[in-house]
């Protein structure tokens, strides 16, 4: 009887894994999961201050695919925030704040590469506290020195002016079209589908649809024109920018009005009344004011000063 119990005890001892074996098996399983899903350390101070140097990319997905997914998720979060979702507001603020913090660290680690990018922007996101001197960061990264809207010593853009803000908004959108539309049409199978149109006054704007593996993209005709725009807005090429810019403004007013916005009504209110006070007169006067703002942004004042 004792021999049987002893034999059973030995068998039990042999089949039961040791503590070391259990730990090793668990470690192997964890390593397997880390390879499959990637590993992130968001709660480490070191990971926050040196995120770019932590590890290689955990995925082989193409960068455009990752960007598309990021934009989609970020847009959904922003939509919920605008809809009044308190949690979405909180998370969006945290997300944006953390992105800018990482951009700051990246600009320190890769200053040469980021400076080349920052120089093409008229403004730049930074983490700012009331006792900071933001000018130092802008100077360090040469923000605006090679931008669409020229920057030079002593120049100040009146961002309190309504027409200037609209002109800047349109210029930024045209630059976005110039940079991003080729990604849609050239880097993947793409079919141009039947078109529609929208009308503002006597102006008709053609709308095209591009069918791609990532979805169908709506592309207004003025966006297609942006592919041939110059890289910089200067006094001699304002008309080139205004051709698509005028349609971009009209489409913005139309779509904003369709969704209950007040952008068009505000523009008509601020525009010169005209001889008869007709809506068409006010609309044309508003467009004229935006074009004059664009001329000012092109540096016309500086050009005249240099000639005098």
- Give the pLDDT of residue 208: 86
CA 73 to chain centre: 13
- Give the pLDDT of residue 51: 46
Cα separation, 266 vs 263, whole angstroms: 5
- The count of other CB atoms within 10 Å of the CB of residue 21 is 10
- Give the pLDDT of residue 45: 38
Q: What is the pTM of this model?
A: 0.63
Under 8 Å between Cβ of 233 and 150: yes
Q: Phi and psi of 262, rounded to 5°?
A: -115, 10
Half-sphere exposure of residue 178: CA atoms within 13 angstroms, side-chain side: 17
- Give the pLDDT of residue 268: 93
In the chain, beta strands by DSSP E: 190-200, 203-212, 215-220
CA 72 to chain centre: 11
Distances (CA, A) of 291 to 98, 140, 165, 167, 294: 37, 33, 12, 7, 5
DSSP letters spanning 266-291: HHHHHS---SS--HHHHHHHHHHHHH
> What are 183's two structure tokens?
């990604």
pLDDT beneath 70, residues of the chain: 1-16, 30, 33-34, 36-61, 152-154, 187-188, 194, 300-308
Largest CA distance in the chain: 118
- Give the pLDDT of residue 6: 54
Q: Phi and psi of 118, rounded to 5°?
A: -60, -30
Cα separation, 218 vs 221, whole angstroms: 10
Q: Which residues pair with 210 in a beta bridge?
A: 192, 217
Q: What is the pLDDT of residues 181-205, one digit of tens each?
A: 887 777 667 787 767 788 888 899 9
Under 8 Å between Cβ of 273 and 281: yes
- The count of other CB atoms within 10 Å of the CB of residue 177 is 21
- Give the pLDDT of residue 135: 76
Residue 262 burial class via C-beta count within 10 angstroms: exposed 0-12, middle 13-18, buried 19 and up = exposed
Q: In the structure, how many helices (H) and strands (E) does the chain have?
A: 13, 3
């Amino acid at each position: 009887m004792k021999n049987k119990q002893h034999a059973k005890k030995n068998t039990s001892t042999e089949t039961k894994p040791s503590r070391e074996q259990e730990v090793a098996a668990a470690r192997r399983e964890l390593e397997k999961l880390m390879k499959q899903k990637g590993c992130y350390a968001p709660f480490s101070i070191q990971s926050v201050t040196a995120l770019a140097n932590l590890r290689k990319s955990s995925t082989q997905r193409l960068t455009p695919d990752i960007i598309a997914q990021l934009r989609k998720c970020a847009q959904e979060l922003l939509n919920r925030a605008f809809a009044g979702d308190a949690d979405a507001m909180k998370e969006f603020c945290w997300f944006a704040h953390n992105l800018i913090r990482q951009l700051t660290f990246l600009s320190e680690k890769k200053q040469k590469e980021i400076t080349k990018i920052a120089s093409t922007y008229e403004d730049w996101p930074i983490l700012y506290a009331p006792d900071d001197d933001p000018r130092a960061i802008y100077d360090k990264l040469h923000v605006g020195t090679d931008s669409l809207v020229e920057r030079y010593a002593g120049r100040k853009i009146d961002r309190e002016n309504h027409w200037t803000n609209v002109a800047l908004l349109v210029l930024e959108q045209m630059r976005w079209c110039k940079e991003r539309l080729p990604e849609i049409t050239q880097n993947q199978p793409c079919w141009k589908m039947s078109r529609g149109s929208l009308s503002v006054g006597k102006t008709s704007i053609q709308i095209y649809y591009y069918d791609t593996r990532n979805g169908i993209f709506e592309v207004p005709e003025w966006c297609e024109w942006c592919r041939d725009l110059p890289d910089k807005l200067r006094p001699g090429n304002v008309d080139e920018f205004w051709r698509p810019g005028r349609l971009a403004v009209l489409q913005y007013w139309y779509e904003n009005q369709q969704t209950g916005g007040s952008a068009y009504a505000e523009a008509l209110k601020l525009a010169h009344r005209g001889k008869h006070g007709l809506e068409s007169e006010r609309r044309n006067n508003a467009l004229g004011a935006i074009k004059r703002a664009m001329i000012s942004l092109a540096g016309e004042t500086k050009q005249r000063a240099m000639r005098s």
